[in-house]
């Protein structure tokens, strides 16, 4: 049976959302064993419940406790908590036997098989990631000026990262990240993404966002860009990850986004699965 390593980085408030993401992965990627690594500052209140939930999905939960760390100079807010930086140092905490891992934000819904992405060969790159630059070309230009990385063609979203752990262990140094945060902290807008793109953007293998990091807010834009090809039917058949970027989230009571009903359906099934144990 194939084994896929998954990585998340969340605080104590994302229990239900993480369950929904994992349940959607299980439904759409059967016949696979998952190791679920979760970067966290300290042990969660729901640690035991989550361990049991994972077991019902044929997944093994493996917490990675960060503890006190050196992110004291990093900009932190309600929208951008300290946990967003942990993915950049995941290789320092993962077991030695992990050579590849797929990082996902917990506001992502899986609607097709993730195996093709995980099987992607990226041995000469640190990461594989998607850019949303075709949706916001002006933003890409602004980011190049702001971050002064003119040689990098794309500004990559950090919500879906296929990580070449063997390579990041050798190339990514904690001190480089800390030094960048300290030097640029007043200009960081999307902090973890700014670091990722500034320091490592030239070593990222591009993957199509319409398949692997579909911005759920922009469905009409995707449809226009594709001359009508990437419509709802296409998305259901081809898109792997719906990413609910931005402030408004589908689990909020009054959210009326295009994919909110689909998300809440998976959330309901995930909750029901956890209560039948």
8 Å CB contact between 136 and 209: no
Per-residue pLDDT at 276 exceeds 70: no
Closest alpha carbon to 109 in 271, 263, 268: 263
Q: What percent helix, strand, coil does the chain show, rounded to 5?
A: 45, 20, 40
Give backbone dihedrals phi and psi of 35, rounded to 5 degrees, phi first. -100, 125
DSSP calls for 82-108: GGGGGGGGGGGTS-TT--EEEEE-TTE
Mean per-residue pLDDT of the chain: 89
Asked which of 141-150, 247-256, 258-267 is least confident by mean pLDDT, the reply is 141-150
| CA 170 from centre of chain | 22
Q: Which residue has the higher pLDDT, 4 or 275?
A: 4
Sign of CA dihedral 120, 124, 127, 129: negative
Closest alpha carbon to 99 in 22, 160, 169: 169
Asked which of 47-56, 115-124, 186-195 is least confident by mean pLDDT, the reply is 186-195
Beta bridge mates, 158: none
Per-residue pLDDT at 142 exceeds 70: no
pLDDT at 69: 63
8 Å CB contact between 255 and 13: no
- Banded model confidence at residue 146, pLDDT cuts 50, 70, 90: very low
Domain ranges of the chain: 2-275
CATH class of 2-275: alpha beta
Give backbone dihedrals phi and psi of 104, rounded to 5 degrees, phi first. -135, 140
pLDDT by residue (tens digit) across 89-100?
999 999 999 999
| CA 13 from centre of chain | 17
* DSSP conformation class of 31: S
Give backbone dihedrals phi and psi of 151, rounded to 5 degrees, phi first. -75, -15
pLDDT at 229: 96
Query: Token pair 């002064």 is at which residue?
Result: 148
């Amino acid at each position: 049976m194939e084994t896929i390593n998954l990585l998340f980085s969340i605080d104590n408030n994302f229990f239900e959302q993480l369950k929904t993401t994992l349940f959607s992965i299980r439904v759409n990627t059967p016949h696979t064993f998952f190791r679920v690594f979760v970067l966290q500052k300290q042990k969660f209140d729901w640690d035991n419940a989550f361990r049991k939930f994972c077991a019902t999905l044929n997944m093994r939960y493996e917490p990675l406790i960060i503890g006190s760390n050196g992110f004291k100079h990093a900009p932190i807010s309600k929208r951008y908590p300290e946990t967003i930086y942990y993915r950049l140092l995941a290789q320092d905490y993962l077991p030695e036997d992990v050579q590849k891992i797929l990082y996902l934000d917990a506001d992502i819904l899986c609607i097709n098989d993730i195996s093709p992405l995980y099987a992607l060969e990226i041995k000469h790159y640190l990461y594989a990631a998607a850019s949303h630059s075709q949706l916001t070309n002006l933003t890409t230009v602004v980011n190049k000026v702001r971050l002064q990385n003119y040689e990098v063609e794309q500004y990559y979203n950090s919500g879906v990262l296929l990580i070449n752990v063997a390579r990041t262990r050798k190339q990514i140094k904690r001190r480089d990240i800390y030094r960048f945060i300290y030097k640029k902290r007043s200009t960081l807008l999307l902090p973890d993404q700014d670091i990722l793109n500034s320091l490592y953007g030239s070593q990222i293998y591009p993957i199509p966002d319409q398949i692997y990091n579909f911005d759920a807010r922009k469905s009409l834009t995707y449809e226009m860009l594709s001359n009508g090809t990437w419509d709802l039917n296409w998305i259901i058949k081809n898109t792997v990850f719906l990413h609910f970027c931005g402030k408004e989230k589908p689990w909020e009571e009054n959210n009326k986004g295009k994919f909110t009903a689909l998300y809440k359906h998976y959330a309901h099934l995930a909750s029901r699965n956890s209560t039948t144990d």
